Amino acid sequence: MRATFWKSKFLSVVTASALGVLIGAAIVTAVFREHIFSSKYADIERYYQSQNKKNFELADYKKLLDQQQTAFIEASKNTTPCVVHIKTKSAATRTPIHDFFNPFFGGTPNQPYYQSGSGSGVIISENGYIITNNHVVGDANEIKVILNDKREFDGEIVGTDPNTDIAVIKIDARNLPYIKYGDSDKLQVGEWVLAVGNPFNLTSTVTAGIVSAKARNINIIDRDEKTHFPIEAFIQTDAAVNPGNSGGALVNLNSELVGINTAIATNTGAYQGYSFAVPINLARKIAEDIINYGAVQRALLGVNIQDVNGELAKKKGLSTNQGVYVNGVAENGAARSAGIVEGDVIISVDNVKTNSVAELQEQIGRRRPGDKVKVKIMRGDKEMTIDVVLRNKDGNTGIIKEEKLDVNSIRNKLGASFRPITDNIKARFDIDNGLEVYNVENQGKLAQEGISNGYIILSVDEKPVKTVEDLVEAFNKKKSGAIVLTLITPFGKKVYRAIPAN
């Protein structure tokens, strides 16, 4: 009886305590929510009063929230049909070790070796031009484009730009929904944006976040002092972006394209808080160059540069802690010709501040050779504005045309000579067509893939070849990635090799 009494007492105390905790939590939650709501309301009311507008009522705040929600819904609805799913197959180089082990794992010996990939793209015209990332399609031998309405098309690479990781592909279609361009210069840190793409093959996925930073350089694009001059001035956001989002759209709440989603900051390969997009003002220029000229018209200032910071300013005795320091100028560059010298600090281009190398590279990267820009510099404690006519990589203002191979240059490209096969070779290997490989150079592309004198090229990307002109045409058609050669060795064995197109 006593035990029952104390047990009952204990349960009553526990129940009362639990109820008290729940009531207390509810009160705290209500107060917290009321505080947050009141705080937001007060902030907006103060803003309206500062603008000499009518007092802000509670109904106005609710209306504002409804308008924001509607903006998210409308932006998603308007842009999702303009974003496509891209699936690729890319040829990879096979080595003798592949051919040896492949049968043990259920494969067929001496077959082309392909890797699958996936990404996103954005339709920018009603007749089928699509902008995406170079790393999505640059190595592709086969491109499939799946629209939001489930239709599928074969995609063809129009051109690529490894320096900005932008590429343009084309599908044979008409009357497509296409996205309208925004102005990435007007994008503000703290502004809401949506990322639209196909992460993990989950089609038509929309995520939201804010712009965290602009002109961010994260050093992910390969740098080659002779051929690659990367431009990294990414828009940083906290919208969730994962593998498969690459090449997709970053849009504002006006349903405008403001960036091309390109990369994430991660230690795991998946989203960990920040993502990066190429600003559309830069990406649009690259895409238009590819479509209109067949090659990117890269304008160069002709300077070696680095960010100005407190340490550099003290070391060099600079009068400013901001801007871009000129370490040197090229002999035949635009900067030297205009009068910019080593030691100058570039603080703006056409009245747009350039507080970092990334910001300067973005501004110059959006111009073409022959464009004139006003470069504002600090020389000592004196501010100056200098007119600069930008130049191309050759040191002039001409248009750079797409390089085409011919029967003479194909030898230099591949490091070998080619000739149609004779009747004796046809009879020996029981074939109807092909090119004999001879004069193979030790360090040439073919030699690097183990192709030596006496090999016969039967086809290129599964298209039979009979003449050297056929080979030239195949390489000229291939904008990037690898070309698959079907060959016969001098001993009569059929093999496949993937040769980089560029």
Catalytic residue list: 135, 165, 246
DSSP letter string, 228-285: B-----EEEE-S---TT-TT-EEE-TTSEEEEEEEEEE-SSSS--SEEEEEEHHHHHH
- In degrees and rounded to multiples of 5, residue 75 shows phi and psi of -65, -40
For 15: left if phi > 0, alpha if psi spans -120 to 50, otherwise beta; the answer is: alpha
Token reading at 265:
């900051």
- In degrees and rounded to multiples of 5, residue 166 shows phi and psi of -115, 145
**460, 467 contact by CB (below 8 A):** no
How do 345-349 and 324-329 pair as beta strands?
A: antiparallel
Helix ranges (DSSP H) in 51-139: 58-79, 96-101, 134-137
How do 113-123 and 83-92 pair as beta strands?
A: antiparallel
Query: Reduced to 3 DSSP states, what percent helix, strand and coil does the chain have, rounded to the nearest 5?
Result: 30, 30, 40
What is the CB neighbour count within 10 angstroms for residue 21?
A: 10
- Cα→Cα distances 383→77, 173, 255, 310, Å: 49, 53, 40, 19
Q: Is 83 helix (H, G, I), strand (E, B) or coil?
A: strand
**137, 145 contact by CB (below 8 A):** no
Residues 6+ apart with CB under 8 A from 228: 162, 163, 221, 222
> How many Cα atoms sit within 13 Å of 491 on the Cβ side?
3
DSSP letter string, 371-392: -EEEEEEEETTEEEEEEEE-B-
Token reading at 199:
């992460």
**468, 418 contact by CB (below 8 A):** yes
Token reading at 324:
């871009």
CA angle 130, 133, 139 (to 5 degrees): 105
Q: How far apart are the first and last CA of the chain?
A: 92
Token reading at 175:
């009357």
Helix ranges (DSSP H) in 263-393: 280-293, 310-316, 334-338, 357-365
In the numeric block, the tokens 């193979």 are attached to 440
